[in-house]
Amino acid sequence: MLLARLAETSRAVADVPGRLAKLGLLAGLLREAGADELPVVVAYLSGELPQRRTGVGYAALRALPAPADVPSLTVLEVDAALERLAAVAGPGSAAERRAQVGALFGRATADEQGLLVALIGGELRQGAAAGLVTDAVARAADVPPAAVRTALTLSGSLPAVAAAALSAGQAGLARFRLEVGRPLAPMLASPGTDLDDALARTAPAAVDWKVDGIRVQVHRDGQDVRVFTRSLDEITPRVPELVAAALGLPATQVVLDGEAVALRPDGRPHPFQVTGARAASADAGVPLTPFFFDVLHVDGEDLLGEPLAVRADRLDRLVPEPLRVPRLVGPGPEQARAFAADALARGHEGVVVKALDAPYAAGRRGAGWLKVKPRHTLDLVVLAAEWGHGRRRGWLSNLHLGARDPQGGFVMLGKTFKGLTDELLRWQTARLLELAVDAEAPRSTAGQVDVRPELVVEVAFDGVQTSPRYPGGVALRFARVLRYREDKPAAQADTLEDVRAIRDRGAS
């Protein structure tokens, strides 16, 4: 398949407004792809590179050769070229990388160059997010979308799922199973408005402490233990205490979900930055304590489809109480409020209310889990920042906040400079300049700096109000920064639907 064909479809998907029309275009292209081309085509349509990183920065993409007049590049040739780029290292690597970029882009037409720049820069915005491409795979293979999503949850690889679906249909998808040692996307909690509402929406329910740590997924197979973060990155060498905890359990194979947090001697959590630093290095000196709240597999038995009531019982029998998150099962409103107040008094964020009859919806944020905090919070993406004035002159201060649009891209909800300490101002200025779209941005100290939408920030706010000022029709009231979430990728930020749901439930 020529890259020009993919670029043509990508442009058409960006131009057409309706979801069904986008699906038709994507499915048609997927059917055209050969078996060896399909994984690359799926990755590119999702705005991703199989190599993840190529070592090519924005500076290398600013002075490109003149585009070719006639398309000749194939998808597989581009994939091979990017593979070679990703392998460049050592003395002279910068010059070699520039030469390879020039050779690749010199064979690309103008449309193909635009596509390649967007892919390499992580900024392909044609409305074909992974969720839409997932449904396009289902349409192309004529299989139920739910079957594709389930296989994707278990495998973590949409290209692999697409290859199985288009080659073998539902039988191919049925071959995907939870594999101990291979992480799967975690189940996520949706924002809840208040405790009474969350209990009513999930009944019968359990209420867990919401611990302010790092999400961990622990896999044990015999004496082999692997620990993964919510972004599916492996951190096993950095967390020996979690490895030891898993090896101490009365099971040969187990997959656990939970949080790890650095605790003070009195049992209260350290600030999140301490936990984050400890998870980044085993030499940080502060031990991590696991708080496991779910079990997904035990000794050959997958538990994903079992209701929480069953999984909670297995967890209680498998994991000793000091390593489990405190949980209250089937409480009334008064009991739940007292339990939540105790969690807050001990320094934790709040509670998560969980439906006891809900299966583990890996990779999804649904109504089965509702997080309730004493304030409204959302995890949003920084889209831009403005240089400060007065005391904040020389620092990037006013943040432009965006919610994730499931159809692709991000939707701005407002701005804030509240909650920023001098330490945060210094840190975010350096970090945002690294993400600046314009390489000249560090030379200016005025105006606005647009950044690549990669940095997630947790924001507290008093409510959501309807607003014609922003394209999503909603805005946050009195937003303020709580912390940055470098442990969370932008793809897991809260969505525009989450924000509207808070407004519709009376949070404004």
Catalytically active residues are 210
Q: DSSP letters of 166-226?
A: HHHHHHHHTT----TTS--PPPEEEE-S-HHHHHHHH-SEEEEEE--SEEEEEEEETTEEE
Dist. CA 302–CA 179, nearest whole Å:
9
Which residue blocks in 248-326 are alpha helix, DSSP H?
272-280, 308-318
Phi, psi of 174 (to 5 degrees): -65, -15
* Tokens of residue 224, six digits: 């082999």
Phi, psi of 53 (to 5 degrees): -130, 140
Q: How many CB atoms lie within 10 A of CB 5?
A: 16
Q: How far is C-alpha 196 from the geometric centre of its chain's CA atoms?
A: 29
Helices (H) and strands (E) in the chain, counts: 16, 18
Dist. CA 113–CA 78, nearest whole Å:
11
Query: Which residue has 């329910």 as its token pair?
Result: 205
188-191 β-sheet, strand order: 188-191, 365-372, 350-355, 205-210, 327-329
Closest CA to 397 of 416, 377, 378: 416
> What string of H, E and C letters represents the secondary structure of 377-396?
EEEEEEEEEEEECHHHECCE
Q: How far is C-alpha 99 from the geometric centre of its chain's CA atoms?
A: 34
Closest CA to 73 of 36, 29, 104, 34: 104
Phi, psi of 404 (to 5 degrees): -75, 135
Please enumerate in sequence order all residues whose Cβ is within 8 A of that of 71, keeping only pairs 6 or more positions apart, or say none: 2, 3, 4, 109, 112
Bridge partner residues of 255 (DSSP): 219, 297
Whole-Å CA distances, 209 to 342, 351, 365, 502:
9, 4, 18, 21
Q: Are strands 224-229 and 365-372 parallel, antiparallel or unpaired?
A: unpaired
* Tokens of residue 405, six digits: 């649009």
For residue 238, the surrounding DSSP H or E stretch is: none
Biggest CA pair distance of the chain: 72
